[in-house]
């Protein structure tokens, strides 16, 4: 995870001060990229504690296609990653439904994209292309539906907006484009989440996990996270852990369950707390 730490240092040294919708303010850089080879270990942050169970349950929630925060809590009751965004969503004009719906968020777009002629399960179609035509350049999942990102349509427009698979020499790689990158709180979760998704898809397609390539547009550190970032940068990272996925002969992306996954030999420094900007 030295790539991630180097990016934090780069933003501190070269970033520009910008205002943002939360009112907190950021130091921001535009257009960063990092590559994480799965042969080097699983890219879990070690200079603070990765909230592994929250990350894992969120990913399984996305994969399920659900729009409902209650379904997330069923996977892992202590997941609080979306609580703030849901509470903010309920305060918006016209939002009186407290049934748990978050609108057309990530998983809905991944699994049920609204088209003119039909709805599309983008994730399943991308996986089928990996199997049937691994040289295809169309193995794409797009979460950014411009018609469904208005404040009344969704609790939070997708930050990690687009990803694409690539197959070469028996290895599966994944590139993700992220429009908005909360470098302290969000990005370590995003890195781990997409690395895990890569492992899951590789498992069911019979390929070896390759690289996760993370392309970031607006990569920013919130001003109220600066002390936490400096604390994190003062720590020496530990060796990366490994990921174990229980072999239950999973055939589809929907076959994975929470208890299938374990981090092996994960050593980390203590948690560094900071408030999420909503």
| Distance (Å, whole) CA 169 – CA 257 | 29
Name every residue whose Cβ is closer than 8 Å to that of residue 74 and which is 6 or more positions away in sequence.
none
- Cα–Cα distances (Å) from 180 to 159, 187, 194, in that order, read 5, 10, 15
Contact 143, 123 (CB under 8 A): no
Strands 119-120, 171-182: pairing is unpaired
| Per annotation, catalytic residue among 29, 159, 181, 268 | 159
Contact partners, residue 15, CB within 8 Å, separation at least 6? 26, 27, 28, 29, 220, 221
- Residues paired with 106 in a beta bridge: none
Beta strands 26-37 and 113-114, pairing class: unpaired
Helix (H, G, I), strand (E, B) or coil at 111: helix
Angle at 6 between CA 3 and CA 9, to 5 degrees: 155
Q: Is 19 exposed, middle or buried (0-12, 13-18, 19+ CB in 10 A)?
A: exposed
Q: Is 159 tagged catalytic? A: yes
Distance of CA 182 to the CA centre of its chain: 11
Catalytic sites, residue numbers: 159
């Amino acid at each position: 995870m030295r790539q991630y730490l180097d990016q934090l240092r780069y933003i501190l040294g070269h970033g520009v001060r910008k205002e943002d919708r939360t009112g907190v303010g950021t130091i921001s850089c535009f257009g960063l990229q990092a590559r994480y080879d799965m042969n080097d270990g699983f890219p879990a942050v070690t200079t603070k504690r990765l909230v592994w169970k929250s990350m894992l349950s969120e990913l399984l929630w996305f994969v399920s296609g659900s729009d409902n925060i209650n379904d997330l809590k069923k996977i892992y009751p202590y997941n609080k990653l979306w609580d703030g965004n849901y509470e903010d969503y309920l305060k918006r004009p016209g939002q009186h439904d407290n049934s748990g719906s978050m609108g057309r968020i990530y998983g809905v777009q991944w699994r049920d994209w609204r088209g003119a002629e039909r709805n599309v399960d983008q994730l399943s179609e991308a996986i089928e292309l990996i199997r049937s035509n691994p040289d295809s350049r169309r193995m794409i999942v797009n979460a950014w539906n411009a018609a469904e990102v208005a404040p009344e349509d969704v609790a939070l427009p997708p930050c990690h907006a687009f990803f694409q698979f690539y197959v070469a020499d028996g290895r599966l790689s994944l590139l993700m484009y992220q429009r908005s990158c909360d470098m302290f709180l969000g990005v370590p979760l995003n890195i781990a989440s997409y690395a895990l998704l890569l492992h899951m898809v590789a498992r069911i397609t019979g390929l070896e996990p390759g690289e996760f390539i993370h392309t970031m547009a607006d990569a920013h550190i919130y001003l109220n996270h600066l002390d936490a970032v400096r604390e994190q940068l003062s720590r020496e990272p530990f060796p990366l852990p490994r990921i174990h996925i229980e072999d239950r002969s999973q055939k589809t992306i929907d076959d994975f369950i929470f208890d299938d996954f374990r981090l092996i030999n994960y050593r980390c420094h203590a948690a560094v707390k900071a408030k999420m900007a909503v």
